[in-house]
Amino acid sequence: MLLTRHPVRRARWSGAAAWWRTRPLGAAVLVTTAGTWLIVLPFLGTPVALLQPGVAGSAGLGVSLPLLLSGVALMRFPALHALAGLCATVLSVLALLTCNLGGLFLGTALGVLGGCLAFAWAPPAPPVPPSTPEEGKNKACPTA
């Protein structure tokens, strides 16, 4: 009884699986992780460093927030995968200059890899309905 599958459960999971298949999940996770890492990394230091305003703090947020939003956009709007992937790659390379060497190179590596995956992702082909044997026959000349 425990090994049988219930049709209600299968229908619920098949809808979620179909939704996930139409999105660049791996790219979105990598880009979102890179953006999160670049935002969190300055907070791992001393609290005194956070209280000092300056160009470096605003430039770091100016790069890491759009990177985080491009990861969210990959999940929400998969049709924009090329634009979001290109933006994620450019922002990740720009993070080398603005965000503590790109989040100690980890944020840059994750962002560039996720941006390349998002740019190269292709949406799945729509399912082709199965053809019946009757469709292929010529109805003008019936065979006897």
Q: What would the mean pLDDT of 30-36 be, rounded to a whole number?
A: 95
Helices (H), 1-76: 7-21, 25-40, 47-51, 55-76
Say yes or no to pLDDT of 131 above 60: yes
- Render pLDDT for 38-83 as a digit per residue (tens, 0 to 9): 888 777 765 555 555 566 667 778 899 999 999 999 999 999 999 9
Q: How far is CA 91 from the centre of its chain?
A: 15
State the pTM of this model. 0.74
